[in-house]
Homo-oligomer: A and B are copies of this chain.
Amino acid sequence: MGRWEPDARGRLAKAALALYAERGYEQTTVAEIAKRAGLTERTFFRHYADKREVLFAGAGELEDLFVRAVAGAPRAAVPLDALTAGLDAVAGMFADRRDFACRRQAVITANAELRERELIKLASLGAALAETLRGRGVAEPAASLAAEAAVAVFKVAFERWIAPDEERSMQLLIRESLAELRAVAAGA
């Protein structure tokens, strides 16, 4: 097998999710994932540190994209507008990923360690956004509160997006969650 495999990363992720669903996350080995994807273990480890990383690599990319968009928002933008730029940026990541996201969520929901990891990723996102806002000159506690509110908007929109009967886009659900947060905070 050559060093370069077309979409090896995507094939590994797809194979891993299929196996996690069939056999359970704990019971699946990296060797099995590589075999199912028609690749070697060596190729697996070029793309992912371990089998857990297959599920959470996207969360790291999401945080980077979110933070960059907030940092790059116009200097005059108030905290919530800078965060909205970040939310819009990450919404694009979800366009063709609904099937993957739903299956990923089912694996995570079934495993306490993975649920904890998901919470840690969200906490890390909140901390990174607060730091980015402070970098934009936003004082505490406004920076942390705005960041936590944005994480809540993202979390709630994501939970709705992966719900069985939901067909709206992540972008639309994020916009709706943001509007609801504003309404709730305004005392609606």
- Work out how many copies of this chain go into the complex: 2
Contacts of A148 in B (CB 8 A): 148-149, 151-152, 155-156
| A81 and B141 contacting across the interface, CB-CB below 8 Å | no
A155 to B120, CA, bound (A): 15
Contact with B along A165-188 (1 / 0, CB 8 A): 000000000001100111111111
| A186 and B182 contacting across the interface, CB-CB below 8 Å | yes
| B187 and A78 contacting across the interface, CB-CB below 8 Å | yes
Taking a contact as CB atoms closer than 8 A, the residue among B140, B157, B182 that contacts A185 in the complex is B182
- List residues of A (132-164) whose CB comes within 8 Å of B's CBs: 140-142, 144-146, 148-149, 151-153, 155-157, 159-160
Contact with B along A62-92 (1 / 0, CB 8 A): 0000000000000000111100000000000
